[in-house]
Amino acid sequence: MAYFLQSVGNEIVGGHQNLLSSVVPLLKLLCLSSIGLVLAHPKINLISKETFKLLSKLVFALFLPCLIFTELGKSVTLKNMREWWFIPANVILSTAIGCILGYLVALICRPPPQYFRFTVVMTGFGNTGNLPLAIVGSICHSSDQPFGQHCNTTGVAYISFAQWVAVILVYTFVYHMLEPPEEFYEIVPEDSEIEREPIGDASRPLLFEAEWPGMHHKETEHCKTPFIARIFRSMSGSTEPNLSELDHYVEGNIEGGGSPKSVRCLNEPKVVRKIRIVAERTPIQHILQPPTIASLLAIIVGMVPQLRSVLFDEDAPLSFFTDSLEIVAAAMVPSVMLVLGGLLAEGPDKSELGMRTTIGIIFTRLLLLPLVGIGVVALAGKLDIIVSGDKMFVFVLLLQYTTPSAILLGAMTNLRGYGTKETSALLFWQHIFAVVSLSFYVTIYFKLFNYV
């Protein structure tokens, strides 16, 4: 009897410790976000929106690249890359599963027709960068974390190793999925004048600058038009006049001095021609941003033992340089959460998405998708395609299914001129409810680590 009571007591104490070790780090992040919210609140306005935008630019161009380079460079090797392949693959897999669930949400909740693809993307594409880095950083700062001595280094390395995949998805799949729907796009005659109210950086919402500053400067001729829909409309067999648009595009290349490679033979198949033009209109060149460059440099350094020893060994000649970068990188997590608080202080915009669809996206993204993620990761473990016994590896895979929609989607919708208010409202409510859902699932994940 005494043994039974003792075992029950130990289980209760252990469960209490698991709860504290999983919830307390999230409470730390909540406190940091609350500070940012208070400082940026319109009624208090101790720190202006411009200051938060500057802080966001520092995160994007300095703090985050320093963190990625120092932590990923320490950990990555050619052998590790062969073992870590499932982390970037899981980003694609989680996005695909999320989009399938988002398609079901759109079918069931019936959003306005112009927001069907928007619903799919907002459900499928989660935050695989800044927020997971902040969660890992906060957890590893706790003394009772279950991930061992090198918790922060391995966690940041795993997350950073997958960032380039997320960026490619943003500038290919997400970019085209968020194209303005043709049937709801207002066509203005060429001879009419359009009065546009200039939008300065001061009046631009923080949402558009919070995770990928400067994206609005990358606008192209067709980024706010249903260009892809017009090109492929003829493939449905309904009409053929869109080929004139292709000819206009080709002529524009010729007149503008475009490369002959972009102007193929006239007997090129129509489908091939359309696909080529779509590929040329995909802004894949923008993936080379500071965080992506830092990831690539870290991988190169990690794969070359000579470079690695010069920078990251204990007696490395350039250890003073990497130590300086680590000092700068320490500002990343608090800065990200302060910017998130400033974003939430702006509040949600009025949305035309509808209450039913909004609830459907939030429920699916924050509650249903993590359950699917547990099943996927468990199956991957049985197939021996994840690092055996590495709790942080498993945790990062699970986080890819658990975070709310990426804040980067706000900048992308602004770039495409489609669904900006709906994105603002969705991201606001998702991050509010994510406080509960993340606490719940992180507690479950910590409990599941007993069986890893």
Let me know whether 331 and 404 are in one domain.
yes
Considering 282, 305, 329, which residue would you say is the last residue of a domain?
282
Residue 351: its pLDDT value, please? 84
Q: Is residue 10 in some structural domain?
A: no
pLDDT in the model for residue 51: 87
Whether residues 382 and 430 fall in one domain: yes
- Listed residues 234, 250, 282: the one ending a domain: 282
Residues 427 and 296 in one domain: yes
Alpha helices in 43-150 (DSSP H): 49-58, 64-75, 78-83, 86-109, 116-124, 130-140
The residue behind tokens 């998702």 is: 430
Q: 413-447 as b/e, with b when 16 or more CB fall inside 10 Å?
A: bbbbebbbebbbbbbbbbbebbeebbbbbbbbbbe
Per-residue confidence (pLDDT) for residue 185, from 0 to 100: 55
Q: Which two tokens stand for residue 450?
A: 């007993």
Class of residue 245 by CB neighbours under 10 A (exposed 0-12, middle 13-18, buried 19+)? middle
**Does 148 lie in the same domain as 68?**
yes
**N residues, the chain:** 452
Co-location of 58 and 28 in the same domain: yes
pLDDT of residue 11: 41
**Distance in angstroms (rounded) separating the CA atoms of residues 156 and 218:** 29
Interhelix angle 420-448/408-416, rounded to 10 degrees, is: 160
Range(s) of the domain holding residue 148 = 20-184+285-451
Q: What is the pLDDT of residue 410?
A: 83
Helices and strands, counts by H and E, the chain: 22, 0
Task: State which of 245, 262, 282 marks the end of a domain.
Answer: 282
What's the pLDDT at 194? 39
Residue 175 shares a structural domain with residue 123: yes
CA angle 387, 388, 394 (to 5 degrees): 65
Residue 99 C-beta-side C-alpha neighbours within 13 Å: 14
Q: Which amino acid is at 423?
A: T
Which helix (DSSP H) or strand (DSSP E) does residue 154 occupy?
helix 151-161
Residue 125 is assigned to a structural domain of this protein: yes
Instruction: Note whether 121 and 227 are same-domain residues.
Output: no
- Structural domain count, the chain: 2
Query: Is 272 in the same domain as 293?
Result: no
Going by C-beta distance under 8 Å and a sequence separation of 6 or more, which residues neighbour residue 47?
39, 40, 342
Q: How many CB atoms lie within 10 A of CB 378?
A: 14
CATH no. for residue 83? 1.20.1530
Do 293 and 439 fall within a single domain?
Answer: yes
In order along its 452 residues, the chain shows pLDDT tens digits of 444 334 434 443 445 556 676 788 888 889 999 999 999 888 887 888 888 888 888 998 899 999 999 999 988 888 888 899 999 999 999 999 999 999 999 999 999 988 999 999 999 999 988 899 999 999 988 877 888 888 999 999 999 998 888 888 888 888 888 887 766 555 444 444 434 444 455 556 676 666 656 555 555 555 555 555 555 555 444 444 444 444 454 444 444 444 444 444 455 566 566 666 666 666 666 678 888 899 999 999 988 888 889 998 888 888 899 999 999 999 999 999 999 898 888 888 788 888 999 999 999 999 999 999 999 999 999 998 888 888 999 999 999 999 999 888 888 888 777 788 888 889 999 999 999 999 999 999 998 887 65
Token pair for 128: 């695989």
Rg (CA), the chain: 24
Angstrom distance (rounded) from CA 157 to CA 169: 20
With beta carbons less than 8 A apart as the criterion, state whether 177 and 278 touch: no
139 and 262 within one domain:
no
Predicted TM-score (pTM) of this structure = 0.82
Give Dmax over CA atoms of the chain in angstroms. 90
Q: What is the pLDDT of residue 280?
A: 62
445 located within any domain: yes
- 446 within domain boundaries: yes
pLDDT of residue 17: 59
- Tell me, yes or no, whether 238 and 350 share the same domain: no
Distance CA 44, CA 68 (A): 35
User: Considering the domain boundaries, does residue 1 fall inside one?
Assistant: no
Residue 8 lies in a domain: no
Asked if the structure places residue 371 within a domain, the reply is yes
In a domain, 29, yes or no: yes
Q: Are residues 149 and 241 in the same domain?
A: no
